[in-house]
């Protein structure tokens, strides 16, 4: 297991393991390891017995099936920060797709049998998993609504309000990531984010000092979102 602490944080952020207690997480890690694939290398084939599931640290994995015409149909491209083959794990049986590395790729490889044993032996953990997955799904659905229904400016405002701490002491927010990352999360270009913030600032609705944003008029912002 040559996972550095960054990798571990990254892995913990993935939805599947977020519900685990530290002890459970350690437990899972103990039965996992890291694997590096070369470009084009095959991880598993469609029909192989389903024995492990995976988390991408870097690189890209192609999941595909072969049509009888010989044509390959790409089902998914899995990029860093995502699990794959967990659904197959829960179903058991065999992998329904082929998995190839498209470039040099680092994976966390986790053992199905061990993970399922943990889940099965612990009804409480199972419920937590179902719960976090439900929550995550509601979030994703909201994000889709947000992307299709709201304008870029509205999404920025919504994001600011969302970041606002519960106990509304001082209405200011701090970007915990470079702005171009925030922009990408909101589905806009960094230039657009910059312009939106500039416009809000010119209307006195916010003040910007580096990554610190002060919301001067939460009410007005809420009306706009």
Partner DNA sequence: GGCGCGCCTTGACCTAAGTCAAACGAATCT
Partner DNA sequence: AGATTCGTTTGACTTAGGTCAAGGCGCGCC
Q: Which residues bind DNA (CB under 7 A)?
A: 151-153, 178-180, 187-195, 197-198, 208
Element spanning 9, H or E: helix 5-13
Q: Which does 35 bind (CB under 5 to 8 A by kind): DNA, a copy of itself, none?
A: none
Residues 18-57 close enough to bind a copy of itself by CB under 8 A = none
2 touches a copy of itself (CB under 8 A):
no
Smallest distance, Å, CB 205 to a copy of itself? 18
How is residue 49 annotated by DSSP? B
Q: According to the binding rule CB under 8 A, does residue 202 interact with a copy of itself?
A: no
Which residue's CB is nearer to DNA, number 106 or number 155? 155
Would you count residue 87 as binding a copy of itself (CB under 8 A)? Answer: yes
Question: Alpha-carbon distance 101 to 137, whole Å?
Answer: 28
Cα radius of gyration rounded to whole Å, the chain: 21
When CB distances are held under 5 to 8 angstroms depending on the partner's kind, the choice from a copy of itself, DNA, none that residue 1 binds is none
92 scored as a contact of a copy of itself (CB under 8 A): yes
Rounded Cα distance between 62 and 138, Å, is 27
Burial of 144 per CB tally in 10 Å (0-12, 13-18, 19+): exposed
Of 21 and 38, CB closest to a copy of itself: 21
Q: Which does 194 bind (CB under 5 to 8 A by kind): a copy of itself, DNA, none?
A: DNA
6, burial (CB in 10 Å: exposed 0-12, middle 13-18, buried 19+)? exposed
Report the candidate in 97, 99, 105, 98 with the shortest Cα–Cα distance to residue 60. Answer: 105
> What are the b/e assignments for 193-210, b being 16+ CB within 10 Å?
beebbeebeeeebbeeee
Would you count residue 72 as binding a copy of itself (CB under 8 A)?
A: no
Select the binding partner of residue 82 from a copy of itself, DNA, none (C-beta < 5 to 8 A, by kind): a copy of itself
Nearer to DNA, 23 or 149 (CB): 149
Q: Which is nearer to DNA, 46 or 216 (CB)?
A: 216
Q: Sign of dihedral through CA atoms 146, 149, 152, 155?
A: negative
Question: Helix, strand or coil for residue 110?
Answer: strand
Q: Judged by CB under 8 A, which of 82, 150, 154, 192 binds a copy of itself?
A: 82
Which phi and psi (to 5°) does residue 204 adopt? 65, 15
Closest to DNA by CB, 42 vs 147, is 147
* Positions in the binding site for a copy of itself (CB under 8 A): 15-16, 67-69, 71, 76, 82-84, 86-92, 116, 119-120, 123, 126-138, 140-144, 147-148, 166-168, 187
């Amino acid at each position: 297991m040559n996972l550095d602490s960054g990798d571990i944080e990254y892995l913990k952020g993935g939805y599947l393991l977020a519900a685990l207690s530290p002890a459970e997480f350690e437990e899972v890690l103990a039965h996992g390891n890291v694997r590096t694939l070369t470009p084009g290398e095959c991880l598993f084939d469609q029909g192989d017995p389903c024995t492990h599931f995976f988390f991408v640290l870097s690189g890209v994995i192609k999941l595909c099936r072969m049509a009888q015409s010989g044509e390959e149909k790409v089902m998914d491209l899995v990029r860093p920060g995502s699990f794959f083959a967990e659904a197959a794990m829960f179903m058991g049986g065999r992998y329904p797709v082929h998995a190839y590395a498209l470039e040099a790729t680092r994976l966390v490889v986790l053992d199905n049998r061990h993970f399922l044993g943990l889940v099965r032996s612990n009804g409480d953990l199972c419920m937590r998993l179902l719960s976090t997955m439900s929550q995550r799904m509601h979030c994703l659905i909201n994000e889709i609504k947000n992307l299709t229904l709201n304008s870029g400016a509205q999404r920025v405002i919504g994001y600011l309000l969302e970041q606002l701490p519960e106990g509304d002491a001082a209405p200011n927010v701090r970007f915990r990531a470079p702005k171009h990352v925030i922009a990408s999360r909101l589905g806009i270009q960094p230039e657009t984010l910059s312009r939106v913030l500039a416009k809000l600032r010119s209307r006195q609705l916010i003040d910007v000092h580096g990554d610190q944003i002060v919301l001067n008029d939460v009410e007005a912002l809420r009306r706009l979102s």
